[in-house]
């Protein structure tokens, strides 16, 4: 029963009507701190959208006191000024600000850490579906100078490059001499994500020789001007540099394409979050979360170069490396740009999956596909027992079916492909979690 209640609660933002919000007598209406990836442009754009949706006039951004800080300002029809502050110094600073009560909403380009969760437990459960809000999907692009001839790197090579073990392009089959590493600073969620997805899994620290940047734009421009440079960056900041295809374990080489990032198949994909403390009494914070999850908010997400969570159907080219039954599905059906994933060590849908259920149902209803037009395809991780992986892959698909049935969806078929077609290496929990997924195909 509890899962059903939580599921219903996550649907509310999609139908919330934007009522007029109270105007504070003094001070900002909302204070946001955290991720530079979010705070540089996406966060202010979402704030502007909410303000304009509230009927405020002359909405604009202006610099605040510190670097990477800004204010979004608008006026009511009665001439009252409304200000929302956005500080973008890295994901860790957002959680620290929540603890110090110097922020009302934390922006993060990584999930909250267990240590932060414990540190902030006085504010409520920040892992609850109402508190942890996935607002967009981003991909970490690995960028090279446009003249670099390399097109593909694997995650093991990335770890060796940024650790300094591989120090020349010739060691990778390229040309150019010494490799110059460019990285975000320690406060950055982008750096945290790269460290988690690439370095920590292989027990390698970042090389001391790496040049560090607080600004995503400055890092990207530095790589694009350095023939020996390599860097990692959020997807909207590739700019004039060249992105390469990434391989993780036995996965296919994948470029940071929108469709592969939307499904989180791309090895270096990540979720962007707002964290709203359950104890919050700030109506502007709740309104911004709701607006961000709405179709208008997600359109702003897409306009800012990130991947919106609006569900679309895409064709998938059958490949010889796919199981024959999977190729048959790909020939006759289209895949929706969403993967259902599960809480670690359980068959419970994670917070994003609970939100995505509503998006999938809305897509199926709008396209008249509620009746026997959907096949769910489950996958698992290998571990030591392929038969167990095959069974669990189908059980996870059945868990998604149970939720879809509650909204009137009649399934065409459920398939389990076990540990086949991994999208990540099975050598760590993070990769195994990505491989435990359920795809949605429509006919």
The verdict on 130 and 249 lying in the same domain is no
**260, 295, 322 - which closes a domain:** 260
Q: How many domains does the chain have?
A: 3
The verdict on 125 and 198 lying in the same domain is no
The verdict on 188 and 100 lying in the same domain is no
Q: How far apart are CA 296 and CA 47, in angstroms?
A: 12
Sorting pLDDT into bands at 50, 70 and 90, what band is 16? very low
The yes-or-no verdict on residue 435 having pLDDT over 80 is yes
Q: What integer is the mean pLDDT of 430-443?
A: 86
Closest by CA to 162, choosing from 190, 187, 133, is 190
Domain assignment present for residue 26? The answer is yes
Q: How far apart are CA 156 and CA 300, in angstroms?
A: 35
Q: How far apart are CA 337 and CA 260, in angstroms?
A: 8
Domain assignment present for residue 172? The answer is yes
- In terms of residue numbers, what domain contains 206? 139-260
The verdict on 50 and 147 lying in the same domain is no
pLDDT score recorded for residue 345: 56
Domain assignment present for residue 265? The answer is no
pLDDT score recorded for residue 429: 65
Let me know: does 438 contact 376? Beta carbons within 8 Å.
yes
Domain assignment present for residue 108? The answer is yes
The yes-or-no verdict on residue 207 having pLDDT over 60 is yes
What are the residues whose beta carbons fall under 8 Å from the beta carbon of 1, sequence distance 6 or more? none
Mean confidence (pLDDT) of the chain: 91
Q: What integer is the mean pLDDT of 289-317?
A: 94
Q: Give per-residue pLDDT as tens, 83-124.
A: 999 999 999 999 999 999 999 999 999 999 999 999 999 999
The verdict on 28 and 98 lying in the same domain is yes
Quote the tokens at residue 356: 């995505």
Q: What share of the chain has pLDDT > 70, as a percent?
A: 93
Domain assignment present for residue 371? The answer is yes
pLDDT score recorded for residue 147: 95
Task: Show the CA angle centred on residue 311, arms to residues 306 and 313, nearest 5°.
Answer: 110
Q: Give per-residue pLDDT as tens, 24-69.
A: 999 999 999 999 989 999 999 999 999 999 999 999 999 998 889 9
Closest by CA to 358, choosing from 409, 307, 415, 314, is 409
The yes-or-no verdict on residue 395 having pLDDT over 60 is yes
The yes-or-no verdict on residue 286 having pLDDT over 90 is yes
Sorting pLDDT into bands at 50, 70 and 90, what band is 128? very high
- 336 or 430, which is more confident: 336
The verdict on 315 and 288 lying in the same domain is no
Q: What integer is the mean pLDDT of 356-361?
A: 94
The verdict on 11 and 52 lying in the same domain is yes
Q: How far apart are CA 146 and CA 176, in angstroms?
A: 13
**260, 286, 320 - which closes a domain:** 260
**Ranges of H-type helices in 225-350:** 258-262, 283-293, 295-303, 324-332
What are the residues whose beta carbons fall under 8 Å from the beta carbon of 356, sequence distance 6 or more? 309, 311, 338, 340
Q: What is the CATH classification number for the domain harbouring 397? A: 3.30.1330.60
The verdict on 278 and 174 lying in the same domain is no
The yes-or-no verdict on residue 347 having pLDDT over 90 is no
The yes-or-no verdict on residue 342 having pLDDT over 60 is yes
pLDDT score recorded for residue 430: 67
The verdict on 341 and 423 lying in the same domain is yes
The verdict on 20 and 94 lying in the same domain is yes
Closest by CA to 361, choosing from 405, 330, 316, is 405
Q: How far apart are CA 403 and CA 83, in angstroms?
A: 41
CA 115 from centroid of its chain's CA atoms? 21
The verdict on 99 and 129 lying in the same domain is yes
Sorting pLDDT into bands at 50, 70 and 90, what band is 14? very low
Q: What is the CATH classification number for the domain harbouring 197? A: 3.40.190.10
SS3 371: strand
What are the residues whose beta carbons fall under 8 Å from the beta carbon of 422, sequence distance 6 or more? 249, 250, 251, 379, 381, 382, 431, 435
Q: Give per-residue pLDDT as tens, 215-239.
A: 999 999 999 999 999 999 988 899 9
Sorting pLDDT into bands at 50, 70 and 90, what band is 267? very high
Domain assignment present for residue 299? The answer is yes
Q: What share of the chain has pLDDT > 90, as a percent?
A: 75
Task: Show the CA angle centred on residue 310, arms to residues 307 and 316, nearest 5°.
Answer: 80
The yes-or-no verdict on residue 5 having pLDDT over 70 is no
The yes-or-no verdict on residue 159 having pLDDT over 60 is yes
Domain assignment present for residue 365? The answer is yes
pLDDT score recorded for residue 9: 34
- 388 or 215, which is more confident: 215
| Residue in this structure with the two tokens 């320690």, named with its chain if needed | 186
Let me know: does 275 contact 95? Beta carbons within 8 Å.
yes
Q: Give per-residue pLDDT as tens, 312-330.
A: 999 999 999 899 999 999 9
pLDDT score recorded for residue 1: 33
Q: How far apart are CA 25 and CA 67, in angstroms?
A: 27
Domain assignment present for residue 385? The answer is yes
Q: How far apart are CA 289 and CA 115, in angstroms?
A: 24
pLDDT score recorded for residue 390: 82
Q: How far apart are CA 53 and CA 295, in angstroms?
A: 13
The verdict on 115 and 144 lying in the same domain is no
């Amino acid at each position: 029963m509890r899962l059903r209640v939580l599921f219903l609660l996550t649907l509310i933002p999609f139908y919330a009507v934007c009522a007029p919000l109270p105007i504070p007598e003094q001070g900002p209406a909302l204070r946001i701190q955290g991720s530079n990836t979010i705070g540089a442009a996406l966060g202010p754009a979402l704030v502007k959208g909410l303000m304009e949706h509230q009927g405020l006039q002359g909405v604009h951004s202006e610099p605040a006191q510190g670097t990477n800080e800004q204010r979004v300002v608008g006026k009511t029809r009665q001439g009252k000024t409304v200000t929302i502050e956005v500080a973008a110094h890295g994901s860790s600073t957002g959680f620290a600000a929540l603890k110090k009560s110097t922020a009302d909403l934390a922006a993060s380009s990584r999930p909250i850490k267990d240590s932060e969760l414990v540190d902030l437990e006085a504010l409520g459960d920040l892992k609850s579906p109402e508190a942890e809000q996935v607002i967009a999907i981003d991909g970490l692009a690995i960028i090279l100078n446009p003249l670099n001839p390399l097109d593909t790197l694997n995650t093991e090579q990335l770890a060796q490059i940024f650790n300094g073990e591989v120090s020349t392009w010739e060691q990778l089959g390229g040309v150019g001499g010494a490799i110059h590493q460019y990285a975000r600073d320690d406060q950055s969620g982008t750096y945290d994500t790269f460290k988690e997805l690439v370095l920590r899994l292989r027990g390698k620290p970042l090389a001391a020789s790496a040049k560090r940047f607080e600004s995503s734009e400055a890092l990207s421009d530095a790589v694009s001007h350095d023939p020996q440079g390599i860097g990692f960056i959020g997807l909207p900041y590739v700019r004039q540099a060249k992105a390469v295809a990434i391989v993780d374990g036995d996965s296919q080489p994948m470029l940071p394409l929108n469709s592969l990032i939307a499904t989180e198949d791309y090895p270096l994909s990540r979720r962007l979050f707002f964290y709203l403390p359950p104890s919050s009494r700030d109506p502007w914070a709740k309104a911004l979360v709701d607006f961000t999850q709405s179709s208008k908010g997600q359109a702003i997400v897409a306009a800012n170069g990130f991947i919106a969570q609006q569900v679309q159907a895409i064709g998938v080219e059958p490949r010889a490396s796919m199981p024959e039954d999977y190729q048959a599905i790909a020939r006759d059906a289209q895949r929706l740009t969403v993967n259902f994933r599960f809480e670690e060590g359980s068959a419970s849908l994670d917070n994003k999956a609970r939100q995505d259920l509503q998006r999938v149902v809305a897509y199926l209803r709008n396209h008249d596909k509620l009746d026997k037009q959907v096949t769910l395809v489950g996958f698992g991780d290998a571990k030591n027992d392929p038969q167990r992986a095959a069974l669990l892959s189908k059980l996870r698909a059945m868990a998604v079916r149970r939720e879809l049935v509650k909204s009137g969806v009649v399934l065409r078929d459920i398939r389990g492909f076990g540990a086949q077609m991994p999208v990540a290496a099975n050598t760590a929990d993070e990769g195994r979690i990505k491989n435990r997924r359920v795809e949605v195909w429509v006919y």
